[in-house]
Amino acid sequence: MKGIKSTNYFDSVKKKEKHVPFHGQKPYSIRVMRTRFPPSPTGMLHVGGLRTALFCYLIAKKTKDSFLLRIEDTDQEREVPGAVENILNTLEWAGLTPDEGVVLEHGVVAQKGNYGPYIQSQRLEIYKEYAQKLLESGHAYYAFDTKEDIDRMREDGQKAGNPAPKYDLSVRMRMKNSLVMEQEEVRAKLEAGEPYVIRLKVPESRVLIAQDEIRGKVEFKSHTVDDAVLLKSDGFPTYHLANVVDDHLMKIDIVIRGEEWLPSLPKHLLLYEAFGWEQPQFAHVPLLLNPGGGKLSKRQGDVAASDYIEKGYLPEVMINFLVLLGWNPGSTKEIFSLEELVEEFSLERIQKGGAVFDTKKLDWLQGQWIRNLPIVEFAERILPTVAEKYPEAKTDSRFARRARLIQDRITFFHEAPDMLSFYYEEPQIDMELLANKKQKINRDDLPELFCIIIDTLQNTPVTKWTAHGLLEKFKEVATENNLKLGQLLWPLRVALTGKPYSPGATEIFGYDEELDSLEETESLLMNSEEVFKRLHKAQKLVHVM
């Protein structure tokens, strides 16, 4: 990076450092808490990132404050095209719409708010300004070490018995930096445009203390902290500088992030101190684990939130599932709406240990949510999927009542077209399916069984075709003919649906309740003419087998 010429820096390097102890803020529960979710666009949004965004959203809404989205794109080489759009679309899908920052406006990425830009690559001059302040106050220094110099330092450290050497106070005075160079030499290098980075000057013999909302009191000894790079040679900041500067300037009250960032906390504490800023609250949430106990990764399965969207999981379900990964509601309740979570969520009930990402639990929650939907809403939500294959479903006056039959039988909405297909197209009869060993139905039995089924329906007034009434009628007929009930209902089901699975055989076409008068097209779920047509077709097929 080109040198930053500053007389102030050279005038200030001799000033003595003065450090003060850290003091935590008031607990978040008695303050309004402005939160931020700052993903990096280096890939599709991870389910762990979506959980962190959820926690940030819930705290902001619980305390009546704002939820901000900031894009941390300082790692330009790893940026993935379309990642920002994926992050925004995923948050919108989940109902976690940002109040401020990077947002979607009519499908286009935009920014809104008074503290922008909210994309870090657009804030480079701001970071340079604050890096300069650290140089001037003596809390940072120029480092001109080449890659070869750094590699040599690490090799020497390993030879000396240090398995993980780092650029810290134990080696800084042997490196090529402004702490060991004469001011004139530093000035000459800067004026010559020699590449450099700006590093944090970690003080000696300090104990750095912070109060984490999840982990309680955490302590770090300064001799374990490296002199982290704050500003890279290309002019881009590292996470440490950009994160602290942005959180302060954007007035963030609480930093909620994954526990993998806990080792970075002492560097951030030192930066807040160096700038003379009040530190925010911190909450480091536990990792998501695979069923084997390791960190959740692509090797064990899907990790992008969009993978689960594509599979058909509902946003309500994913939110419900993710919040329970680490958070204990303090009761046996497991089904929560987003509105309920805003009222009940608290960081104090987040566990310290990792949480297992159990897809079986996710599927169970999906089923519970679908079954708990009001029937009208359920029908409305599956209609687009069904109508995509069967357009006539859009004008089907019986659609909601037909949909009710499958509400307890599906896990994903995309299963609905197949489950309801027999209402919109005549099924193909599989003769092998009609014969059923479990029901003790042989091929030779089928002609007689269909005669009994058809006679039973013909001798029952259509006005009495209720699901329950027909079931009772078939029970009587089965007893009279020394048959099992399944020997009648199985052929009936297969003839009408062509499927080995479906709602109950009499539910497929019966009334919701017994009627005094018949309005067949509005009442029967399948017209009687269609029922007899399919039964007679099956009867003919079994006679020629």
Point out the residues that are catalytic. Answer: 298
C-alpha 230/C-alpha 518 separation (Å) is 79
Q: How do the residues of the chain divide into helix, strand and coil, expressed in percent and rounded to 5?
A: 50, 10, 40
C-alpha 57/C-alpha 66 separation (Å) is 8
C-alpha 195/C-alpha 164 separation (Å) is 25
Residue 353: Cβ within 10 Å count: 10
Residue 76: Cβ within 10 Å count: 11
Asked whether the beta carbons of 322 and 92 are under 8 A apart, the reply is no
The pair phi, psi for residue 226, each rounded to 5°, is -85, 160
C-alpha 308/C-alpha 539 separation (Å) is 45
Exposure string over 509-525, b if 16+ CB within 10 A, otherwise e: bbbeeebeebeeeebbb
C-alpha 499/C-alpha 409 separation (Å) is 14
C-alpha 276/C-alpha 20 separation (Å) is 10
Place of tokens 């909405």: 413
End-to-end Cα spacing for the chain: 85
CA distance to 119, 129, 132, 142, per residue, from 126 (Å):
12, 5, 10, 18
Strand order in the sheet with 229-231: 140-143, 197-200, 229-231
C-alpha 85/C-alpha 102 separation (Å) is 10
Among residues 250, 234, 272, the alpha carbon closest in space to that of 118 is found at 250
C-alpha 91/C-alpha 83 separation (Å) is 12
The pair phi, psi for residue 33, each rounded to 5°, is -130, 110
C-alpha 384/C-alpha 199 separation (Å) is 56
